[in-house]
A and B are shown apart, each in its own frame.
Chain A
Amino acid sequence: MTGKRIELPQGTLDLLILKAVALEPLHGWAISERLQQISRDVVQVQQGSLYPALHRLERRGWIKSKWAISENNRRAKYYELTFLGRKQLQSETAAWRKLTNAVDHILDMA
């Protein structure tokens, strides 16, 4: 299983987190699970790097956090996208698409 996994390119973790919390507010563990699911176990997200990233994003004002009761009836810290975060998600998504297209293009030409 581990053999199939690839390391997450630098800087894409933020984008994935933003995408993950774009639909609904999630707590840290749920984000980690969601990332594993949507990447169909291909992308390896270091759980240890998730939390610093969350704090960094919160500091930038792209996500905000609040404490709420979780599905298993415990207090958990939920993160949700802010207005700024939504903008950021759009522009980063666009940038990512552009980059991958360009890379695809180069690879095809070669």
Chain B
Amino acid sequence: MLSDLRYRLRAFFRLQKVEDELQEELQYHLEREAEKFRKAGTPSEEAMRQARLALGGAEQVQQKCREARGTGLVENLLQDLRYGVRTLRKSSGFSIVVVLTLALGIGACTAIFSVVNSVLLLPLPYADPDRLVIAGMDLQKRNVRGLPFSNADFIDLRDGTKAFIKDLAGVFTGPALVPREDGTSEQIRWAVVTTNFFRVMDARIVLGRDFTDQDGVPQAPTAPTDVQAPQATPMPVIAILSYEYFQRRYAGDANVLGHTMRTTGGPGLVIVGVLAPRFRLYFPSEANVESAPDVWIANRLGYDAAQRKNFSIRPVGRLKNGVALEQAQAAVDQVTAEARKNFPIAQTAGYYFRLEPMRQHLVAEVRPAILALMGSVIFLLLIACANVANLLLVRASLQERELAMRSAMGAGPWRLVCPILSQVFLLVTGGILLGLALAWAGIHELRTLAPANLPRLDSIRIDAFVLGITILVGVAAAGIVVLAPAWRASRPELMNALRSSTRTSGLATGGRVRNLVVVAEVALSFTLLIGSGLMFRSFLQLQRVDPGFDARRLLTFQVLGVPAVRKTAEERVSLIRQIEERLRAIPGVHSTTASFPFPLTGDFAPIRWGTGEALSDPSKFQATDNQIVLPGYFETMRTPLLAGRTFTDDDNLPGRNRVIIDELLAKKAFGRQSAVGKRILVRIRTPEPEWVEVVGVVAHQRATSLAEPGREQVYFTDGFLGSGRVRTWAIRTGSDAASYENQVRAAIKEINPSLVVTEMQPMEAIVHDAQANTRFSLLLIAVFAIIAGLLAGVGLYGVLSSAVRQRTSEIGLRMALGAQRTSIFAGVVGQGLRLSALGIAAGLIAAFILTRAMITMLVGVKPADPATFISISVVFLAISALASYLPARRAAGLDPMTALREE
């Protein structure tokens, strides 16, 4: 067997040498044979002739030897390929169209699959990542999902799930200003983690040591830990640096271990270790977790039941081996059941902890969109294949007589199909190569277009796996493309084809298959167009949404460091006043304000509120988001005031318990009654709810998402919360907002150099970002749908024009017998419309079922939106009318005499 293989390989790869040797061998034989005859007395030339005669035809002998070598199959293949190249070159227009069509389909598939691969398939870069789970807190009755945990909740969860979760770690992150050695400040991103965090994630410490349990021993309970910056504690705060920050700030100097890094208003951080490079936190964007913190701080986690409402920690756990998620969830449910029993507030909130595999948690937000895109490109590929199959069918029909002739001369079915296979092989190879190039370029574009919430964007590329899938897709495409033509070619209807005299007669036989293919094509592209139509409507809705503020000419930025610069409330008030005045002094600035959180920037802060009846029945408490603002906020944002008044400077003084609520909260609290002058209970700065007075009602602002109305809002003044809590500033300007950036930076620096301005962007950019998801999906689906629509139109055109060509003589005859040109025209158009109507009918059903999967991507549009379905149907009929028009015109324009003579 081995010698056989070796022999064949040699014969295949060194074909020329083997052939030469055979030649030489036979030549030697002839000479010896001739010599023999000469010795017997035959004249020289006659001897050679005799020798040749004895051997037989040299060509036949060589051919037989080749067959004996067993390389005939390969040689046939090469011959077919050469033939294929020749044929394709002869019809370069056809080849280019086919390769381009396939490349579009395969390229789109590859590009989107590379996204699927890196976002949905590649394991997270942690050890055994499938066992990592995230816990999120839902307040089911308050429409709040995925909240972080309070310390007490975290500890309850950890202790209650010990049997199933090997170790539960927690993390939360944020930005902070730290002083540098040269007196300036820099903004860093910090993460506060439980001391077991790196062990749970299996992160490597490259220098120094990991946290020990000692680093996490809680301090005596004091004031609530401020989420904004780690507070002064008598115990040292232990920190580990990220490798990148270690390099950036300390230039990789190992002496930094044991060194205390100064912080603003704290004891500083004692550096004990350096983390391995490129360690990242993978959380969905809505969790607001920094992906690459600079400094990791050991959490001195204490159990403080009073602080149960201070949510900060994101728990990450590692399931024990052999434990199913459901088992762990059951244990978690016991913890929450206990809490609901002990705390009535938990009961009324619909308090619930949800475990989720870490990757599922990461991609839940983007998964539907990615899958919808994947579905779109698969449709696109199928349509491309259908088109190519139809083109091949038409070609095969034209070659029918040639095939029949070959068949009559004894070629087996295999030898008939081979030339087609080799052509398809060449076309698909071309399609794959060009498709890969398209995908490569497309991925580059995707990266710039992709919304920020697409996780692991940087890892999107064509790797070996994607390449393998691309080749598989190509092979599958080849299979689809070749199926119908090969089947038809392998069994030519011999007598029919030979008997008929025109070269186009073969078109008649493949007609039904081609019609079927075109109907399928129309159905697929129609479904895609419906999808893009729905996305387009969603995008329009999103554009039309009134966010409750006017984003034009509004510049936003954060000013960090106010609490650090000014210790007392009075100092902070005057500093804020100074900033306001300085900003307002910039020519062209109409007004200024500040807030925390700020709409559409990712933060939200739910608090508890209730009306008087909640005093006797705590179950009447509900949740609302809150925003802390400076007076002038609604004027600057141009949020319509619906009743009462907006905040004045007097409201900003301490002890003025006045709030403004939005229309949603007003309706919930007081129904149709006027809310102005009434009181509500809120829990924000005190352990128990306190009374505040509603002085105004404003229009609802879309604060968490543009796509959904979101929760109710209550607005407090900065003074109510002790001043200095506002962080994001906004200035209303008279012209292009972005042109004020430098003046703003200069103004803030002038007030105090240690204040840091960051995240500066026009409000319109924030709104733009909030539309990014919808825009991204719309753009991609629309591009795919338009290509699909074009392909389907071309496919329909191809079928109709070959039908017209096939029926030329029939049409000529009918015209000669007095048929009107208009009726000929109508006949062809009618055929086109019938085909597309069938396709549309099938597409309607498919779309009706499939668009339901898009529900989370749609904004203000139902998946079965009648307007979209009807308008896309009309658009599609128009496309098919156009595709039918040209062949119909050709048919109607035929000269009867010429047409008849075609026979």
Contact = CB atoms under 8 A, between A and B. Distances in A.
Interface of A: 27-29, 32, 46-49, 51-53, 55-56, 58-61, 67, 70, 72, 74-77, 84
B56 interface: yes
A59 B4 contact: yes
Interface in B327-342: none
Contact of B56 (A48, A55, A77, A84): A48
Contacts of B70: 59
Contact of A56 (B25, B33, B68): B68
Chain A contact residues: helix, strand, loop or mixed? helix
B472 interface: no
Contact of B55 (A47, A53, A67): A47
B449 to A, nearest CB: 58
Interface stretch (B57-65, B151-159, B771-779): B57-65
A29 B37 CA distance: 13
Interface in B30-84: 31-33, 35, 54-57, 60-61, 64-65, 67-70
B69 A48 contact: no
A50 to B, nearest CB: 8
A53 to B, nearest CB: 7
B25 A28 contact: yes
Contacts of B68: 52-53, 55-56, 59
Contact of A52 (B4, B35, B67): B67
Nearest to B31: A74
Contact of A55 (B28, B32, B69): B69
Contacts of A27: 25, 28
Interface in B317-365: none
Interface string B1-41: 01110011000000000000110111011011101000000
A51 B61 contact: yes
Contacts of A52: 61, 64-65, 67-68
Given A48-B64, A49-B64, A61-B4, 10 more contacts: A28-B25, A28-B29, A29-B32, A29-B33, A47-B54, A47-B55, A48-B55, A51-B22, A55-B65, A77-B25
Interface in B175-198: none
A84 B64 CA distance: 24
B276 to A, nearest CB: 57
Closest 10 CB pairs of A and B: A48-B56, A61-B3, A52-B64, A55-B68, A29-B32, A56-B68, A52-B68, A29-B29, A59-B7, A47-B55
A61 B4 CA distance: 7
Contacts of A61: 2-4, 7
5 contacts: A29-B33, A51-B25, A51-B61, A52-B65, A67-B21
Given A29-B32, A52-B68, A59-B70, A75 B26 contact: no
Nearest to A49: B64
Contacts of B35: 72
A47 B56 contact: yes
Contacts of A76: 25, 28
B28 A46 contact: no
B28 A29 contact: yes
A70 B26 CA distance: 14
A82 B28 CA distance: 24
Given A48-B56, A48-B60, A59-B70, A28 B28 contact: yes
A30 to B, nearest CB: 8
Contacts of B54: 47
Contacts of A46: 56
Contacts of B3: 59-61, 84
A52 B26 CA distance: 11
Contacts of B61: 48, 51-52
Nearest to A57: B68
Interface centre among B25, B33, B55, B57 (most CB of A within 10 A): B25
Nearest to A59: B7
B55 A77 contact: no
A37 to B, nearest CB: 12
A21 B8 CA distance: 23
B36 to A, nearest CB: 8
Nearest to A55: B68
A98 B35 CA distance: 40
User: A48, A74, A75: which has the most chain B beta carbons within 10 Å?
Assistant: A48
Nearest to A76: B28
A29 B54 CA distance: 12
B68 to A, nearest CB: 4
Contacts of B25: 27-28, 51, 76-77
A106 to B, nearest CB: 34
A66 B7 CA distance: 13
B69 A32 contact: no
Contacts of A67: 21
A67 B551 CA distance: 89
Nearest to B69: A55
Nearest to B53: A47
Contact of A47 (B4, B29, B31): B29
Nearest to B62: A51
Given A47-B56, A52-B61, A55-B65, A32 B29 contact: yes
B56 to A, nearest CB: 3
Nearest to A53: B68
Contact of A58 (B7, B32, B56): B7
Contacts of A74: 28, 31
Contacts of A72: 32, 35
Nearest to A71: B32
A64 to B, nearest CB: 8
A58 B10 CA distance: 12
Contacts of B21: 67, 77
A28 B25 CA distance: 8
A48 B56 CA distance: 5
A61 B5 CA distance: 10
Contacts of B33: 29, 47
Contacts of B4: 59-61
Contacts of B28: 27-29, 70, 74-77
A52 to B, nearest CB: 4
A47 B60 CA distance: 12
B835 to A, nearest CB: 55
Nearest to B56: A48
B800 to A, nearest CB: 55
Nearest to B63: A52
Nearest to A31: B29
Nearest to A30: B32
A59 B70 CA distance: 8
A67 B22 CA distance: 12
A28 B8 CA distance: 21
A59 B8 contact: yes
A76 B21 CA distance: 10
Nearest to B21: A77
Nearest to B58: A48
A1 to B, nearest CB: 14
Given A29-B33, A51-B61, A77-B21, A59 B55 contact: no
A53 B498 CA distance: 41
A30 B625 CA distance: 103
Nearest to A48: B56
A72 to B, nearest CB: 8
A37 B32 CA distance: 16
A27 B55 CA distance: 15
Nearest to B25: A77
A51 B65 contact: yes
A42 B26 CA distance: 24
A55 B62 CA distance: 11
A6 to B, nearest CB: 18
B397 to A, nearest CB: 41
A12 to B, nearest CB: 17
A58 to B, nearest CB: 7
A74 B35 CA distance: 13
A58 B11 CA distance: 12
A28 B33 CA distance: 11
A48 B3 CA distance: 24
Contacts of B8: 59
